[in-house]
Structure 1
């Protein structure tokens, strides 16, 4: 067997159709090109007063984008600052060095910047990292960690007035970082806008994985909290995974379970035997129970959210390794015959989603 890095792969297979507040989920990561000051390339802010203190470090436009983010009070705003001649690829290296997850966009990004960001997000997903991005009008990104905003014009409520759509990407990462796992962003009111130029066909746009804003009387609202996923397979990519709040919950569980395994089990003196696997599974199931407790509302408490040994996958591993008698082992024999350094675990969970679609029939006597 080829020697590789330990493989920590927490996957979700949905079998049902369908928050504690986690501050580390609420990071809005803004990439700016700004030569105003070369004193730093990464900085974190917790509130708008800290931004005001540093106002001399940014151009007027970039300072305004930071203020736009804090209009919606995310947990933190992280600024990655690069020079005007640098590239977004340079900035993304700084992101990895400083923050492990969050919503990313680029201020005044061009088409090629957003395309590069989309490709980078996909590469991070392949490496089991849970960064997410807001991009502007990218051609079919088709990825549950990418929100593809497409409105061509937006009108700010302040003196800026009407601007092109990409100017709202910083505000959107503020909104999505604010919502994180605590609430869906469906019908969210964009308080710093007075009007938008709407798409011609709302349903067509949503069906194509496009994130749109709509006019609702005097308000501007998010039509529906969807990402750009359009290609589904019924298992690893489902209809539910088109919803931002579902992916937020999936990423929360992936990060938490993977981190717990790395910190508490990997190299921690736990040999790969049945009893230790059961300890790990018990810990995960306890975690699921907390996510379904009253007031948490990540998982449905009426559903049996449970992880267990993946008997069939473990059996297949033994057979592929040349142990043909594993075909005839009972399930309990498979469970107790752990496979080398690998844990094969699966879980069935039901993620709660916001109330969005109402079917209400009134029958008259």
Structure 2
């Protein structure tokens, strides 16, 4: 298996093979602002905790992020870049992203990112983070080429009274909305009572926008609301199908990944001998987690088991000799699946899982006959 490296919990999310453990905290918004007199990073939970001395624009953006949906975000992490004349913008963004990579949050917004011409840079950073198993998501304006489940592409404006909020300025509201959306529902048709109007699109334009991975709004004549809660993913693959376009589904996947990774790091890795019995302890814990998620209505069901095929590949890479549970050795070709399942796999635990994530009601067909 190559050189010895740090312990790995390699959990790959594909539509029919997911493994996970213990619900993590959700709903943290990270907002990156610019101020001529920057402040240290701070975490707040209400408007009363917004630091004094910030510009009216930044204060309003933070208030938008705190609004949420069915609940307010758990918290808002404020990171302030130096917006003074001597500040080097590229350096400020590098420092901000380096800091955020080590912090805990779910949805990122940067109210000046399009003005700063940094949308594509943050898209690339988000993709890299997710490849490195940092399940961050960013709400970005006009990120039309992002094509990733990790970016929500806002392309519409909103209007409140005499004030028009550009797509860039709307992202904080959307980040807070998504952070405050229950796992049991989606943000599709979420009402935005704090706004009076939005970029007007025809029904055909709405469909085209959603199909292109754009997060847009509609005025239904009574209120402004989200059209459909989709991310920017457009190009599907065998491993990432249409389900990955849904913000709700991706949020559940990310939660499950974060939960199992954190729990394995805290409670399993380095704390148990890698025996068959101890693998079964981990499997039992994961299956209990799936059952709880099903009880809560997040999943319709799921289970995890030892991946026998992966263990066969492991032994094939070791020369085709299997070290059995009793310490004896046997050729791989002569082993039963049960013997392979119970065999000694060094530091590696090979599991595979299957779950079904419940989507929200978004489409209704009701023919009425007279």
Rounded to whole Å, the distance in 1 between the matches of 2:255 and 2:24 is: 11
1:342 alignment partner, one of 340, 343, 348: 348
Aligned length: 344
Q: Hey, what does 1:186 align to over in structure 2?
A: 188
RMSD of equivalent CA atoms: 1.9
Structure 1 position 311 matched with structure 2 position 315: no
Quote the Cα distance in structure 2 between the aligned partners of 1:187 and 1:6.
43
Displacement of 1:182 after TM fit? 4.5
Is 1:2 aligned with 2:3?
yes
1:295-316 Cα offsets, whole Å, 9 max, x none, are x21111xx3x100001111111
State the Cα distance separating 1:320 from its structure 2 match: 2.1
- Which stretches of structure 1, 4 residues or longer, exceed 4 Å deviation after superposition? none
Residue matched to 1:66: 62
Partner of 1:108: 112
Q: 8 Å contact 2:129–2:135 — kept in the other structure?
A: yes
Is 1:122 aligned with 2:127? yes
- Specify every segment of 5 or more residues in structure 1 that has no aligned partner in the other structure, as ranges: 17-21
**Aligned with residue 137 of structure 1, among 126, 138, 142:** 142
Contact 2:217-2:226 within 8 A present in 1 as well: yes
Equivalence for 1:94: 99
SS at structure 1 position matched to 2:121: helix
Distance 2:55 2:333 in 1: 67
Question: Quick check: 1:298 aligned with 2:294?
Answer: no
Aligned to 2:249: 246
Please say if 1:218 is aligned against 2:222. yes
TM-score (ref. length: structure 2): 0.88
Quick check: 81-90 or 322-331, which moved more? 322-331
Q: Deviations over 1:130-182 (max 9, x none)?
A: 1110011123211111101111x32124x5x1232211011111101111524
How far 1:94 moved relative to its partner?
A: 1.9
Q: Tell me, in whole angstroms, the C-alpha distance in 2 between the residues paired with 1:359 and 1:327.
A: 54
1:45-95 deviation line (CA, Å, top 9, x unaligned): 1111212xx232x11100111111222221111101110124322211222
**Could you tell me which residue of structure 1 aligns to residue 26 of structure 2?**
25
CA offset digits 1:289-339 (Å, max 9, x no partner): 11111xx21111xx3x10000111111111122116324422101101132
2-structure distance, mates of 1:184, 1:298: 12
Query: Contact 2:147 / 2:232 at 8 angstroms: preserved in 1?
Result: yes
Q: Distance in 2 between matches of 1:96 and 1:238?
A: 27
1:354 match: 360
Q: TM-score, normalised by structure 1?
A: 0.89
Point out where structure 2 has 5 or more consecutive residues left out of the alignment: 18-22, 322-330
Question: 2:15 matched to 1:14?
Answer: yes
Match of 1:206, SS?
helix
1:71–1:192: 8 Å Cα contact kept in structure 2? no
Q: Give 1:23 deviation, angstroms.
A: 7.7
